[in-house]
Structure 1
Amino acid sequence: MAAYAARDEHIPRVRELTGEENHLTGSGDWLSDSQHSQASGDREGQIQGYASATSVSPGQVIDFHVSVHEEQSYRITVFRLGHYGDKGARLRTTSAKLQGKRRTVPGADPETGVIACDWPVSWSLRIPSGWRSGLYQAVFTTEGGKVSSTPFVVREPARASDILMVVPFTTYQAYNMWPQDGRTGKNLYRGYNKAGEVGGPEERAHKVSFDRPYSDAGIPNRFEMDTSFVRWAERSGLDVTYASSLDLHDGTIDTSKYRALFFAGHDEYWSKPMLDSARKAVSARSHLAFLGANNIYFHVRMEPSAGGRANRVMACYKSTPDPAPGRAGVTTRWRDISPDQQHAEQGLLGIQFNGIVQKPAPLVVKGSGHWLWAGTGLREGARLPKMVGVEADGYDPKAPSPAGSRRTLLAESPYEAKRLTASQPRVQHTALTEMPNGAMVFVAGTFHWALALDSAPHRNKHIQTATRNLVNRMLHKEA
């Protein structure tokens, strides 16, 4: 199939700044959440699709593989996500009318649980040279109005922007339980039992494939954390380019040339090369900012697809014996790879995951005189309601810390952590760890920090100011 080159007849020439890009006309037709009234579902599978890559550069081709339950025409519409006058996206191109066909939903591999589609290419898009780096969404719409989607990144690896935002596609796939049809779907947590109910670890997969749609409307788990940061950053006029977590894995992106790397979403699943890329950035005095919690928690191994395409399968055996651990060790929690926890995530981040939040709790400000809190008007012990949510991080005195570093705790928030039988008290921390070479690693320690930037009802002006202070300091501007 010949690649379709999107036409930019009415698009001005490429801007230098992301802020200028966001002055262009926006569109509200992108899929912002999985509750869309016309969203496709896994049981019916009215229309669903996946992309051939998590990221692509201008001039390269990305393929889309689409299945339509009933033969009918459909279109693929591509949006760049951003601010765009509060619309949240900008329409970039639309395919010609395509004829849909129903494709086979594969069964799970009996040994690994992997579910991998081998659908033919439905439409190919060559990324125009004028397209800015960004988080994009392809929306699939049938003639009957049913919709689903899949995200991807357009990168600009040759341009050293101030900030590189890394989109956590490895974690997206870890949680993707497509198809949620009552019998087939699996992810790295659970699968269906013989009664057609969602089971536990016994039914889960040990490997997941990128060659499959995301469940239902195609919105990955916790996608709103990433889109919230994207809108805030681009509305603020920051100089941002984008990459997939797999770009850190395969070295497509040189992390050492950016002033700061931002991980805004749920970034739990990391390969050894991904971690090496982050450490390379810190060694080059680039800064890291994690705006969620539970980061760099599980070690994963990337493998080729059955057809030989690199990095299309992700393995994570967790508590099950790993049959092929390789040089990087078994695919379990990083902190469990060795008995002395020398690989624990706190060794880079300064704090680490310590619990699932029973119900949202206030974030309690610590060190209010620190530059992070400048201009917020917050005093010591101030409580920001419901800011500690979903999962939380904290300092663990038994875990390793970065050698020679200085850690500053900027929030100290009691919360109740979920357990199987009862909640248990925990303390959440927000932390800034300064390395001997001047590089900073910031960890918010809660999922609600990223949402507070630009996601109703979580918006919080204090968190917005603090994040701007963080950006300014990382970019060597006065906070």
Structure 2
Amino acid sequence: MPPSNKIVQENLRPGAPATEWDINGWGDSSIQGFGHDISINVGETIYFKIKTDSTDYRIDIYRMGYYGGLGARLVDSILPSAPLPQVQPEGIRDPETLLYDCGNWAVSASWPAPADAVSGVYFARLVRQDDAPASWRMDNGQDAPAQAPVPFAHAYGSLGRGRLATALREPRASHIYFIVRDDEGDADILFQTSDTTWQAYNRYGGYCTYGRLNPEYPRIHGGPPRAHKVSYNRPFETRHYRAVNMVFNGEYPFIRWLERNGYNVSYFSGVDSERRGEEILKHRLFLSVGHDEYWSRNQRRNVEAARAAGVHLAFFSGNEVFWKIRWEPSVDGADEEYRTMVVYKETHDNAKIDPKADEWTGTWRDARPFNPEGPQPENALTGTIFTVNAWRNDPLIVPAAYAQLRFWRNTDVAKLQPGARAVLLRGLLGHEWDEDIDNGFRPAGLFRLSETTIDNVPYIQDHGTVYDAGTATHHLTLYRHDSGALVFGAGTVQWGWGLDAHHDAETGVPPERANATDTRVGVDLTGPDRNIQQATVNLFADMGVQPATLQADLVAGAASTDMEAPVSTLLQPPAGATLPLATVVLGGTARDADGVVAAVEVSTDNGASWHPAHGRTQWTYAWSPDAPGLYTILCRAVDDSGNLEQANAGIEVTIVQP
């Protein structure tokens, strides 16, 4: 039988081991480069600009995938087109915004993506082949001392003991990351990379969007000042500075699992969601994966438009849609669009400082009057909202009360007895995570799928600058939009860890802290988690997406056939009651004929706003009226397929001064 889709066919090709394609952190500082665009369409050419003193190097083109567990495939190998050694100028620096743009470098090589190339996350591995000596350290680590320790009794490493078994074969190398799109394709899934976050943490040239704030906050983000603009015309140094915010942490294991199971997927950058939003409409399901922290206005509008058109959304991401960005052309004289990412982080300055007066580049949620666009908290789209800062390595907990929700079908969670709980993979909640908060922007009919409470976490105190010790409760969430689109919120950066064990930070410790001399993709010996894999299969099935090569220990799912909403009843207080101005406990029941009641919502203002009740088939809501008067109280229930009840007329009660 021929392969059923391009991803299946692609992953039948021979892969390469990580000892051939990986690098140590951001690689060898003496050979670094970038592509002229973060993405190209199939059949288009990417142009590489490379800075090195090497007189002999090659460029290996790889594509990420599963490939029998090897994780990448060598697609092509090319040589530079420029005479060597090629001298590149210093990049262009803007002292006011600390922007550093290397677009003035000359082209060093190019690679034409074949017309039949398979969409994916690609990387060019720049490999020095000259005689320049590598560091004495494993994988060309650059840390001091410059000279290797002298072999002597009990100097075990210098005597050869403990030598790294998975050492890189050619360590004098670096990566250029880019995405190959398929603009004419209509794959079931569109996977958006978190490249805007990769760039936000990229310190190449000296600065990134993280750095010293103002004297009010002397302990926060110390070091150099933060840049207000960062350029895509730079090599990525991110994996050295903050590897957890690069592709190999949250995105790479997700890619491996998708392609292992033959899901029909194509790939897209965050920049593309801004400039090619209409492409999202060609797909059944849009994925945000990993640390997807930086979103532009049009990017969000395009994803919201896709939701309104019935495209399902799954946010397998945490701290997502947190900072609002905008785009400007490059400053290298070419004026290339979408090469300068602007984020003044005005929230940190407690003022409007971006010179573009009508557009905000602080946090999306910032509600202070100097935000000209007003607060737009991220949970209005994703269902969850960021509250817990780095560096977390927490498990996901599912109490038995959630076990019968269809999301958990065919998992061990579904077998939980009353009072029990499932504790799933440590690190699944990390390295930053969200909560479900009743903040006035919560989507209608949103319901919870899990419940994990952790004490002493770094909890956000303001709109995005100050953190203090707190207690947070994480929930997986799901809701169905009026269009019929399902929207899932994982509320964590590292959902991919539950799908595949191969990623950076495999010990749960940030790589630059776990082993400061060598950051590599490793194997998490505690992962993956079959429950997370099966739940993801279930979710995709309910979104109309099926795998072609499902792994043997998982069960294929089927979309829900339940189209009938549950029915809720308000029992307390009785209609027409007169109550004192104090906390009033509302209560009632709910039932569902074909599924499970997943949540109940209550309105005390005749449907103008809704709030989550406590409980499901038996529920309560503690209401604190603001003032005396006549109030209309409504209730509605949602089932585990996302069917939301149309609220009935409700009851009226009178609140009086006691």
| TM-score using structure 2 length | 0.64
2:182 partner SS: coil
Mapped partners of 2:467, 2:325: distance in 1: 30
Give the root-mean-square deviation of aligned CA atoms: 2.7
Mapped partners of 1:281, 1:201: distance in 2: 41
2:196 partner SS: helix
Deviation readout 1:231-273 (Å, 9 max, x if unpaired): 1000000000111111111126521221100112211100011
2:272 partner SS: helix
**1:332 pairs with 359, 362, 378, which one?**
362
**2:299 pairs with 255, 274, 279, which one?**
274
Mapped partners of 1:357, 1:375: distance in 2: 33
Mapped contact 1:157–1:252 kept (Cα < 8 A): no
Corresponding residue number in structure 2 for 1:314 = 341
Matched, 1:261 2:300: no
Amino acid at match of 1:61: T
Matched, 1:360 2:360: no
Corresponding residue number in structure 2 for 1:186 = 207
Matched, 1:211 2:233: yes
Matched, 1:413 2:413: no
- Following superposition of structure 1 onto structure 2, how do residues 385-424 of structure 1 map, counting pairs within 5 Å? 385-386=425-426, 387-402=428-443, 405-415=444-454, 416-418=456-458, 423-424=469-470
Unaligned ranges ≥5, structure 1: 1-12, 180-184, 193-197
Which deviates more from structure 2 when the two are superposed, residues 94-103 or residues 307-316?
94-103
| Pair 1:216–1:338, CA change in 2 (3 A) | closer
Mapped contact 1:260–1:288 kept (Cα < 8 A): yes
2:321 partner SS: coil
Corresponding residue number in structure 1 for 2:6 = 17
Mapped partners of 1:79, 1:354: distance in 2: 37
Deviation readout 1:60-79 (Å, 9 max, x if unpaired): 121101011x3421111101
Matched, 1:439 2:485: yes
Corresponding residue number in structure 2 for 1:4 = none
Which deviates more from structure 2 when the two are superposed, residues 420-429 or residues 166-175?
420-429
Corresponding residue number in structure 2 for 1:231 = 256
Amino acid at match of 2:30: Q
Deviation readout 1:201-239 (Å, 9 max, x if unpaired): 870100000000001778783312111111100000000
Mapped partners of 1:33, 1:454: distance in 2: 20
Corresponding residue number in structure 1 for 2:637 = none
Give the drift of 1:418.
2.0
Corresponding residue number in structure 2 for 1:371 = 406
Mapped partners of 1:33, 1:384: distance in 2: 31
| Pair 1:270–1:398, CA change in 2 (3 A) | same
2:255 partner SS: helix
| Pair 1:35–1:272, CA change in 2 (3 A) | closer
Mapped partners of 1:27, 1:385: distance in 2: 28
Corresponding residue number in structure 2 for 1:48 = 32
Corresponding residue number in structure 1 for 2:537 = 468
Mapped partners of 2:391, 2:198: distance in 1: 23
Mapped contact 2:97–2:228 kept (Cα < 8 A): yes
2:317 partner SS: coil
**1:343 pairs with 365, 376, 382, which one?**
376
Matched, 1:93 2:76: yes
Amino acid at match of 1:412: E
Corresponding residue number in structure 2 for 1:151 = 177
Mapped partners of 1:283, 1:169: distance in 2: 25
| Pair 1:60–1:191, CA change in 2 (3 A) | farther
Corresponding residue number in structure 2 for 1:67 = 51
Matched, 1:160 2:146: no
Matched, 1:200 2:222: yes
Matched, 1:222 2:246: yes
Amino acid at match of 2:435: G
Mapped contact 1:148–1:216 kept (Cα < 8 A): no
Mapped partners of 1:220, 1:426: distance in 2: 22
Amino acid at match of 1:79: Y
Unaligned ranges ≥5, structure 2: 131-169, 214-219, 460-465, 502-522, 546-556, 560-658
Matched, 1:112 2:97: yes
Larger Cα-atom Rg? 2
Amino acid at match of 2:245: N
Give the drift of 1:97.
5.6
Give the drift of 1:303.
0.4
Determine which structure has greater relative contact order: mean sequence separation of CA pairs < 8 Å that are 6+ residues apart, divided by chain length: 1
Mapped partners of 1:258, 1:472: distance in 2: 15
1:343 partner SS: coil
Mapped partners of 2:322, 2:38: distance in 1: 21
Which deviates more from structure 2 when the two are superposed, residues 212-221 or residues 300-309?
212-221
How many residues are matched? 448
